[in-house]
A and B are shown apart, each in its own frame.
Chain A
Amino acid sequence: AQSVTQLGSHVSVSEGALVLLRCNYSSSVPPYLFWYVQYPNQGLQLLLKYTSAATLVKGINGFEAEFKKSETSFHLTKPSAHMSDAAEYFCAVTPGAGRRALTFGSGTRLQVQP
């Protein structure tokens, strides 16, 4: 079975500061990993995904994440936060093979202070 743990249900940063949202996964087989973002009163949308190609994955809106097998991590970063980045972020995992639905983490709410 696969699972993800997101450390920190709330993260607050200043505008222009580095954003770091943490995600650790557990999977018995090579995983596919995803980050989704949910803006207020909207559905989730895909930020980026790792599917066993490059370990550093670039997504939309300047976000990127690095797959580190040795640390079983897939942390999300952005060099400089913008007010519009305020949202809830979800890490998700699925086995790389087989027909299984995504397992999501509990989410991290990002606040950006002016």
Chain B
Amino acid sequence: GAGVSQSPSNKVTEKGKDVELRCDPISGHTALYWYRQSLGQGLEFLIYFQGNSAPDKSGLPSDRFSAERTGGSVSTLTIQRTQQEDSAVYLCASSERGQGAGGGELFFGEGSRLTVL
């Protein structure tokens, strides 16, 4: 596809279960970002991958959250032992180059809405 693709678009899970959210960035984009959007809270940075460099994990809220990016393309965000406060829309974005290199535009997916019961 031409844009950033995220799946699933909606996920309802029970407290304590693990979930995986997938992001397919735009082909050729070296940078990939995960953000969390909670009601009234704006976008919270989670993690940033840039090429083959070590990811910037400084935004991950706890050790229950992890992400990987395989082959410099698809990324998976994993949340273990989900809690109700994890309920949010998880947004993935990609850019042709990192933000430090001239302010490249971020292209966002439509998000994965997670509801933890």
- Are A and B associated in one complex? yes
Residue pair A44, B106 in contact (C-beta under 8 Å): yes
A-B pairs with beta carbons under 8 A, tally: 75
Residues A104 and B42 in contact in the complex (CB < 8 Å), given A45-B108, A99-B50: yes
**How far is the CB of A44 from the nearest CB of chain B, in Å?**
4
Q: Residue-by-residue, is B47-59 near A (CB-CB < 8 Å gives 1, otherwise 0)?
A: 0101001001001
8 A Cβ contacts from B62-109 to A: 91, 93, 98-100, 102-103, 105-109
Residues A41 and B110 in contact in the complex (CB < 8 Å), given A49-B105, A106-B40, A107-B42: yes
- Secondary structure class of chain B's binding surface, majority of residues: loop
* Chain B, Cβ-Cβ closest to A102: B99
Return the contact of A51 from the options B43, B102, B107, B109 (Cβ within 8 A).
B102
Query: With contacts A43-B107, A44-B106, A49-B105 known, what are 18 further pairs, Cβ within 8 A?
Result: A41-B110, A43-B3, A43-B91, A43-B93, A43-B108, A44-B93, A44-B108, A46-B105, A90-B43, A96-B103, A98-B100, A99-B56, A99-B99, A101-B33, A101-B56, A103-B45, A104-B43, A105-B42
Residues in chain A near residue B108, CB distance under 8 A: 36, 43-45
Residues A43 and B56 in contact in the complex (CB < 8 Å), given A49-B105, A104-B35: no
Residues in chain A near residue B103, CB distance under 8 A: 32, 34, 49, 51, 94, 96
Q: Residue-by-residue, is B22-49 near A (CB-CB < 8 Å gives 1, otherwise 0)?
A: 0000000000010100001111110010
